[in-house]
């Protein structure tokens, strides 16, 4: 009885915030090809950025990189087992001013974040070392290929992180970006694309395009995926995620078939059951459609939220506000991700015909209470005022600053590619 009554308001708060934030982003307003304008920031910036990052990528020759002592066996190393190590010599490959593709809610520095320690932690697995993200190697692996991320706003930040980490080595006239429900970043020189498809629950729901903003009114079409999934065919590398949208209420309103009877006839299901059914719809599509000889399938596990500061011994209600250091307690686990949901995901994937590899980011991200967008975000398209910024209630403890934690997700992902 007690645990749900404690958890429920937290869950509600974060999803309301989540929806408000995403709504502000407006997926449809920028549905045009923005060829990068040769604007003043673009001409001097890439140069200085390039010099900086030259140091970060000491071995730009990929064949050297391969033979440079990085014997890396993802199968043999458990990345989740490790710790964050402070290293002031780290130089992020991009910043939110050098990379023009970062959505506003992740642009923490632009939005006024002045503390910068959160940029200088590197993930150190216990049993191996994690190679740096080498943009040239990434592009070589993607030559002639399509990489498509499908999922929610956290997946979107992983996509933006990936694009930003490679885009600075590509000449202006060799790249283009088109934004929309299906966003496409093209690298002409390599005949490669890095794409994102907005599908926060993978299956359809009535809230995903923000016409309905009350999570209580969310209805999920638990068996509907075919229409959108047509756009995911013929891709070489698919990366899915879905989690946080399933947590909008204590039950999920699930509907089978079409919305033909209006939105009547839904059934209220326990979150884990609904998640399992939704994932099975996705799994059936993958199993029946994906050619494993052409396409590799990945799944990014849940990104933990940090809305309950009591989880790490702080007064509750502060959330991740003002946090500047990761949690150091090994295997720290808070209420920001649900282990039951994780095992649902594992069970569904285990039964699939097509192999799906997990990019398991959950535990490593769980430590990073310091790296969320917090109050360096926007609501309804506007930055928070100084007064709003002083109020922990306004902190976004779901999304992450870019550059930041999603870069490490991609560092792990690149070793798996």
Ligand X SMILES: *[C@@H]1O[C@H](CO)[C@@H](O)[C@H](O)[C@H]1NC(C)=O
In the complex, the residues that contact ligand X under the rule CB under 6 A are 47-48, 51, 61, 63-64, 80, 87, 89-90, 144-146, 181-182, 191, 230-231, 291-293, 301, 318, 322, 342, 345-346, 358, 360, 362-363, 392
Q: Which residues pair with 220 in a beta bridge?
A: 205, 254
Least distance from C-beta 266 to ligand X, angstroms? 25
Instruction: Return the number of the residue (253 or 306) whose C-beta is nearest ligand X.
Output: 306
Least distance from C-beta 220 to ligand X, angstroms? 19
- Helices H / strands E in the chain, number of each: 11, 17
**In the block, which residue shows the tokens 């991700």?**
337
Distance CA 194, CA 183 (A): 9
Instruction: Return the number of the residue (267 or 346) whose C-beta is nearest ligand X.
Output: 346
Instruction: Return the number of the residue (161 or 215) whose C-beta is nearest ligand X.
Output: 161
Token readout for 399 is: 């999304």
Within 10 Å of residue 253's Cβ, how many Cβ atoms? 20
List, in sequence order, every beta strand (DSSP E) within 188-295: 192-198, 204-205, 219-221, 237-240, 251-255, 267-270
Catalytic residue chosen out of the listed positions 153, 161, 303, 309: 153
Q: Are 319 and 306 in contact (CB under 8 A)?
A: yes
Half-sphere exposure of 415 (CA within 13 A, CB side): 24
Catalytic residue chosen out of the listed positions 95, 183, 399, 407: 399
Least distance from C-beta 206 to ligand X, angstroms? 17
Instruction: Return the number of the residue (104 or 145) whose C-beta is nearest ligand X.
Output: 145
Of 208, 257, 218, 249, give the one whose Cα is nearest residue 27: 208
Q: Is 310 helix (H, G, I), strand (E, B) or coil?
A: helix
- The residue at minimum Cβ distance from ligand X is 80
Least distance from C-beta 229 to ligand X, angstroms? 9
Within 10 Å of residue 258's Cβ, how many Cβ atoms? 9
Token readout for 79 is: 């990345």
Q: What is the DSSP string of 293-357?
A: TT-EEEEE-PPPP---GGGGTSPTT-TTTT--S---STT---TTS-HHHHHHHHHHHHT-SS-EE
> Does 88 participate in catalysis according to the annotation?
no
Instruction: Return the number of the residue (221 or 253) whose C-beta is nearest ligand X.
Output: 221
Cis bond leading into 403, ω under 30°? yes
Token readout for 131 is: 């190679």
Distance CA 298, CA 159 (A): 13
Least distance from C-beta 232 to ligand X, angstroms? 9
Instruction: Return the number of the residue (310 or 318) whose C-beta is nearest ligand X.
Output: 318
Q: Are 121 and 84 in contact (CB under 8 A)?
A: yes
Least distance from C-beta 332 to ligand X, angstroms? 11
> Does 182 participate in catalysis according to the annotation?
no
> Does 316 participate in catalysis according to the annotation?
no
Least distance from C-beta 142 to ligand X, angstroms? 9
Instruction: Return the number of the residue (322 or 379) whose C-beta is nearest ligand X.
Output: 322
Token readout for 298 is: 């990945």
Catalytic residue chosen out of the listed positions 96, 370, 396, 407: 396
Of 236, 238, 336, 219, give the one whose Cα is nearest residue 278: 219
Catalytic machinery residues: 153, 396, 399
């Amino acid at each position: 009885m007690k645990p749900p009554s404690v958890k429920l308001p937290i869950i509600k708060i974060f999803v309301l915030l989540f929806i408000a934030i995403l709504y502000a982003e407006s997926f449809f307003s920028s549905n045009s090809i923005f060829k990068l304008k040769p604007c003043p920031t673009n001409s001097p910036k890439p140069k200085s950025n390039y010099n900086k990052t030259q140091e970060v990528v000491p071995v730009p020759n990929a064949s050297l990189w391969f033979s440079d002592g990085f014997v890396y066996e993802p199968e043999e190393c458990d990345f989740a087992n490790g710790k964050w190590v402070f290293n002031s010599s780290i130089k992020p490959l991009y910043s939110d001013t050098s990379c023009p593709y970062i959505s506003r809610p992740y642009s923490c520095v632009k939005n006024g974040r002045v503390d910068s320690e959160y940029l200088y932690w590197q993930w150190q697995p216990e049993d191996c070392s994690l190679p740096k993200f080498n943009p040239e190697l990434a592009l070589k692996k993607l030559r002639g290929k399509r990489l498509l991320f499908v999922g929610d706003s956290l997946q979107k930040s992983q996509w933006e992180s990936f694009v930003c980490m490679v885009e600075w080595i590509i000449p202006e006239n060799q790249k283009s970006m088109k934004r929309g429900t299906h966003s496409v970043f093209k690298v002409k020189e390599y005949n490669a694309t890095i794409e994102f498809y907005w599908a926060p629950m993978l299956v359809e729901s009535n809230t995903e395009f923000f016409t309905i903003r009350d999570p209580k009114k969310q209805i999920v079409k638990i068996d509907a995926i075919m229409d959108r999934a047509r756009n995911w065919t013929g891709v070489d590398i698919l990366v899915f995620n879905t989690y946080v949208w399933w947590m909008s209420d204590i039950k999920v309103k699930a509907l089978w078939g079409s919305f033909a009877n209006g939105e009547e006839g839904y059934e209220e299901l326990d979150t884990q059951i609904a998640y399992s059914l939704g994932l099975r719809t996705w799994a059936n599509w993958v199993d029946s459609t994906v050619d494993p000889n052409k396409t590799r399938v990945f799944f990014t596990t849940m990104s933990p939220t940090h809305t309950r500061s009591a989880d790490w011994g702080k007064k509750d209600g502060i959330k991740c506000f003002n946090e500047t250091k990761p949690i150091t307690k090994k295997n720290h686990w808070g209420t920001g991700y649900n282990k039951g949901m994780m095992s649902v995901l594992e069970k569904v994937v285990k039964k699939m015909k097509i192999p799906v590899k997990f990019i398991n980011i959950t535990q490593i991200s769980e430590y990073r209470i310091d790296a969320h967008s917090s109050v360096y975000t926007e609501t309804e398209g506007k930055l928070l005022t100084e007064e709003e910024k002083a109020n922990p209630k306004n902190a976004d403890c779901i999304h992450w600053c870019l550059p930041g934690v999603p870069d490490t997700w991609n560092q792990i992902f690149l070793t798996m590619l």
